[in-house]
Chain A
């Protein structure tokens, strides 16, 4: 995690520096665009950005969105739409290098009781892991349940609770 964070900072710093220098450059001093070497320097599996619906990773030289997978209240089976998401994630994640570990984090809303919520989070992670493995992901996949401890939304609304019932993916070398 720390490594990913460090890489993100370095990448951001490089991109920011590049942007500034381009803005101030004299047209007569134009040199080869610096973006290509920067992208090439980003290691496969690097977290590029966290978005509301998923995380962007550098996979096989491409910026790829690995979407969060959502669940119904008190359920750990995948709805058809969310199964499609998981299958789509699988095809992207099957491209990661073999030394990468895919960590699948299961999360719940605030309802339910302590231990049961952590088990529910784990079963959600397991449902997603099963889809990944069945769809060609051969690298190491591990699971961690965070129960209700890691909400992305803290308002007391139905929509908010639905956002918290999710599985997230992280890549780790």
Chain B
């Protein structure tokens, strides 16, 4: 066994580091570090920088504009990018729809949509969940009825992340109400500017606006926007979900978060001592570090296996569960390290010399609350356990 990266992988890591040091705009990294919501402009700017290097569509094959990376390169990039406080690459067009179109799309669809994702012309959002269909995605009700060469769509989607900025939404719609739940679903691409679409904001626990409700009233969609076959959208939906779940362990984010908590605890004084000298706090931090170190190797083991057999295994579910637990534990420690100062609403602290919390730490509690989402979306941790139960236990 050899746990170190190969010479090529090490060289690649150096290359990524140098790229991030040279090309990631400092003001964007500062905003990411301070836990501010990343603006559309910042995301677009970062996407364009990545695209000019050919590193944007990381999971796409080379002949469609991808960099030709395997899972290990993608992992190295994620880790370095999180450490450098790069904005996350928006997954909807690049990591979800792109691979779906490459596998299931018609030649016209590929030729039209893929370049527009790469150059940032189209922002995509994901229309899967509905008020009555969360974990039980197949119970979705939004329906599309064929009328000539158009589908007429009626219904409601919810939890649509960044739908307020999106130009297009990819939706699961019911095209056969009589069939078994999984059988009557289709995968449809819908222009957000079509008449009959209304987007309403949902305010989240910490006060931010990243998700929306999307209402469809007699929305007319050209039939050529159907991906793959009518009533066989579930095949497409499942393929997309496997892409949604890879990388969801967020190892890179946890590494960055760990280093940050440790640095904060080394600075923060409590009762005349540095917080890191507090045996209870130090023990908690130590335990998370153990979990994190183990998870890094678990993740790499899974990546090596995925590279070998060509697709990720059921271990992704274990990694999703453990990855979100570790990240949430780190969020918790970070907030707790600030003591009562973490209770401030970000931006309300007195600044300057009298600052109670450093501006970059103000969002600690807000991020802790916001990140309760990571164990809910992408298939809740309970649903991951159900998947594992079925796949592993043979009970």
User: Do A and B belong to a common assembly?
Assistant: no
